[in-house]
Amino acid sequence: MKKLSILVGILALASGPALAEEAAGDWGGILGGQLHVIVHIKKNGAAYSGTLESPDQGAVVIPIDTITTTPDHLAFSIAAIHGSYDGKWDDAQKTWTGTWTQGQAMPLTLKRLDPAAKPTPIARPQEQAISVGPNPYTASEVTFDSRAAGVKLAGTFSVPNGKGPFPAVVLIAGSGPHTRDEDVFNHKIFVVLTDALNRAGIAVLRYDKRGIGQSSGNYKTATTTDFTTDATAAVEWLKSRPEVNKSRIGLIGHSEGGLIAPTVAVADPSVAFVVLMAGPGLPGDTLLLMQQAAIARASGESEAAIATAQAMNRQAFDVIKASSSPEDAQGKVKTLMASLVASGQITQAQADAAVTQLTSPWGYEFLRYDPRPTLSKVKVPVLAINGGLDRQVPPKEDLEEIRQALKDNRDVTVTELPGLNHLFQTAKTGAPSEYGQIEETVAPVALKIITDWVSAHSK
């Protein structure tokens, strides 16, 4: 996501009697066995503050919102990325051993960082080849206004060499604080996709989400509806460009971007076509429950643990769907989480993180949203693809819902690509823990099916 990555994985963690070292300082770990993270913690009197850094993703540094620590317990949360950590002190190993939760629960052990140690990034051959060039297109930095929101978006506009005007697409990222590159586990998905489209004679606009990178606005309070407004503004900007064939502007949405693209296409009849890359065709609460179970199974969780997590998440989702407002939902979810804490099923830190994630403006809207009514109104050509090993948007159920919603559309291609995951990488299990280990950013078969289809619908 994300990519779609807000589902709270609720795991109970035991607490031991060990006496931890001072929590302040720099702590490093490898998330899920692949992604290097560094947690910088400062102590000011009795209070703590800090940041989380991801060297593998371009040294992204994100402020930590809350930090709580005792001699044997460390917990922190980051609302901007819907993430939280809950760990206990291992005195024998001198580490914090715990779980990072951001859409799914992943193991994360933090140990004091050696300032001289620098992680060696895993190779990304597709991106390296693009950076070396030469490339048959020109890329330029651009800005455009999302006027209704008072937001200025920054992005990259790339145009094939030669005489235009060219057909063009807007790339719409999945959930999470993505830049124009759609960085996921040090993969720049939109860089690779843009390169393939440009080489096929398609101009591309990709942009930083509001409040991320060089774009203005507030990401923390933004919802899918807000991101739809921004995507609409991107289409309007493309219409103003002399390099672009205004009658052949399409949308390519990945994951949450696949919710946004149909809404833009329904509202703007000038949109010529839509590509859904793992775009949701199921209601938000249903999709997230399926996602949690699929990821857990791919990660080796027991059926008993999966059933427990499903029951707790179902309770929370039902409360949110029955609530009258985000504020109403927050109060009711707090009450539910308090009962789970009292029964020892989760920790207070996990309860706080669940309330923050599920009742955020984005979470509240997403859980209550059903994409099918909008999909049924899309009349332009649609390509819908999912990876056969996608554990975040389960392909068979999702593609069937999309197929049914689009049954009255005369130009629809629905395809499941065997062996590919949610990022459209060639994978083994499809679990998110594999994303960072795989050198491939986007499988050539996925690039070909997208570029061939877009080219055929741009004439």
d(CA 376, CA 192): 31
d(CA 222, CA 218): 7
Residue with tokens 């809404």: 263
CA-atom Rg of the chain in angstroms:
22
Q: Which amino acid is at 388?
A: G
Distance of CA 16 to the CA centre of its chain: 34
d(CA 157, CA 337): 46
Of 174, 157, 169, which Cα lies nearest the Cα of 197? 169
Q: Quick count: other Cβ atoms within 10 Å of Cβ 43?
A: 15
Strands 203-207 and 166-172: parallel
- 346's torsion region: left (phi>0), alpha (psi -120 to 50) or beta? beta
The per-residue pLDDT for 244 is 98
The per-residue pLDDT for 33 is 58
Roughly what angle, to the nearest 10 degrees, separates helices 444-456 and 189-199?
A: 50
The per-residue pLDDT for 7 is 34
The per-residue pLDDT for 419 is 98
Cα within 13 Å of Cα(64), Cβ side: 22
Averaged pLDDT in 10-residue chunks for the chain of 459 residues: 31 29 75 74 81 70 83 82 82 85 76 71 92 96 92 98 96 92 90 98 97 92 95 97 97 97 97 98 93 81 85 91 91 91 81 82 93 98 97 95 97 98 95 86 98 96
Strands 166-172 and 60-63: unpaired
Structure tokens at 294: 């699929």
DSSP string across 235-299: HHHHHT-TTEEEEEEEEEEETTHHHHHHHHHHH-TTEEEEEEES---S-HHHHHHHHHHHHHHHT
d(CA 84, CA 3): 17
Q: φ, ψ for residue 340 (rounded to 5)?
A: -70, -35
User: Please, what sign has the CA dihedral across residues 313, 314, 319, 322?
Assistant: positive
The per-residue pLDDT for 3 is 29
Look up the pTM and report it: 0.81
Largest separation between any pair of C-alpha atoms in the chain: 71
The per-residue pLDDT for 10 is 26
Of 109, 58, 63, which Cα lies nearest the Cα of 88? 109
The per-residue pLDDT for 30 is 75
